[in-house]
Amino acid sequence: MINIVLFGKPGAGKGTQAEFLKEKYNLTHLSTGDIFRFNIKNETALGMLAKSYMDKGDLVPDEVTINMLQSEVEKNPESAGFLFDGFPRTIAQAEALDAFLTGKGQGITATIALEADDEILVQRLLERGKTSGRADDQDEEKIRNRYQEYNEKTAPLIGFYQAQGKFHAVDGIGTIEEVTKRLSNVIASL
C-alpha cells in the first residue's frame, strides 16, 4: 500500500497533480477541500461549520478535519493506497494521521510538496477565481491570509516529515507535464 501526502500552498497545482497520481497509482484521492465543498454545497452541519472558517480564509479546526478524514479512509477499505491532498496541515494533524494509520497497520510512504513563489501563486489564484466561482480565490487579501496560515501552521510539517526521511520537494512551476514528470521521478525513487 502506498500513502502519499501532497501539499503546497493554495494554487501550487495540488488538485491538478492529484488527478495524475490517483490514476497512475490507483490511489483513493482524499481532498479536504473537495470534501468540504461537497458538504458546503449540500449544507450539511460539517459544511456550514467548515464554511464559517473558510470564508475568513482560516483553516478548519483539527478535530473536525481529522474526524472527517478518518471517516473517508474507513469508507474505502479495499483501496490500494491514499493520496492525502490538503491534509495534514499541522503537526497535530500529522501526528493524528500517523497514529490512525499505525492502528491500521499502515503509514505514510512519502510527503511531496509542490513549491512555488507566492507572487506567481497569487496570480494563479486570482485567474482561477475568475472562472471557479470560489470567493476565496477572488480576494487577494484572503489569498495572502491563506498563505500566512500556511507559513505559520503548515510549513513546520517539512521538518516533521524530513525527520522521518519522508519529505520530497518538487518544483511546482512549469507546464503540467513538466511537474507531473518531476512527481513521477520522486515516486519511482521510493
Q: Which ranges of 114-189 would DSSP assign to H, the alpha helix?
A: 118-132, 140-149, 157-163, 176-188
| Longest Cα separation, the chain | 44
Q: What is the pLDDT of residue 178?
A: 96
Q: Give the CA angle between residues 71, 162, 189 to the nearest 5°.
A: 85
Check if 37 is active-site: no
pLDDT bracket for residue 154 (50, 70, 90): confident
- Say how far apart CA 164 and CA 97 lie, in whole Å: 14
Q: How far apart are alpha carbons 38 and 179 in whole angstroms?
A: 28
> Which one is catalytic: 89, 124, 153, 182?
89
Our answer to whether residue 128 is catalytic in this structure is yes
Taking residues 161-174, report their average pLDDT.
95
Q: What is the pTM of this model?
A: 0.82
pLDDT interval class at 51 (50, 70, 90): confident
- Domain range list for the chain: 2-180
Catalytic residue among 22, 124, 142, 146: 146
Q: Which residue among the candidates 75, 104, 134, 144 is catalytic per the annotation?
A: 134
C-alpha cell at 68: 472527517
* Residue 89 is a catalytic residue: yes
Among candidate residues 37, 51, 128, 166, the one labeled active-site is 128
C-alpha 129/C-alpha 113 separation (Å) is 23
Q: What is the pLDDT of residues 120-142, one digit of tens each?
A: 999 989 988 888 888 888 888 88
d(CA 170, CA 151): 17
Catalytic site residue from 14, 124, 142, 153 = 14
Who wins on pLDDT, 103 or 59? 103
Given a cut of 80, whether residue 175 has pLDDT beyond it is yes
* CATH level 2 (architecture), domain 2-180: 3-Layer(aba) Sandwich (3.40)
pLDDT of residue 40: 87
Q: Provide the pLDDT for residue 33.
A: 77
Closest by CA to 90, choosing from 57, 63, 116, 52, is 63
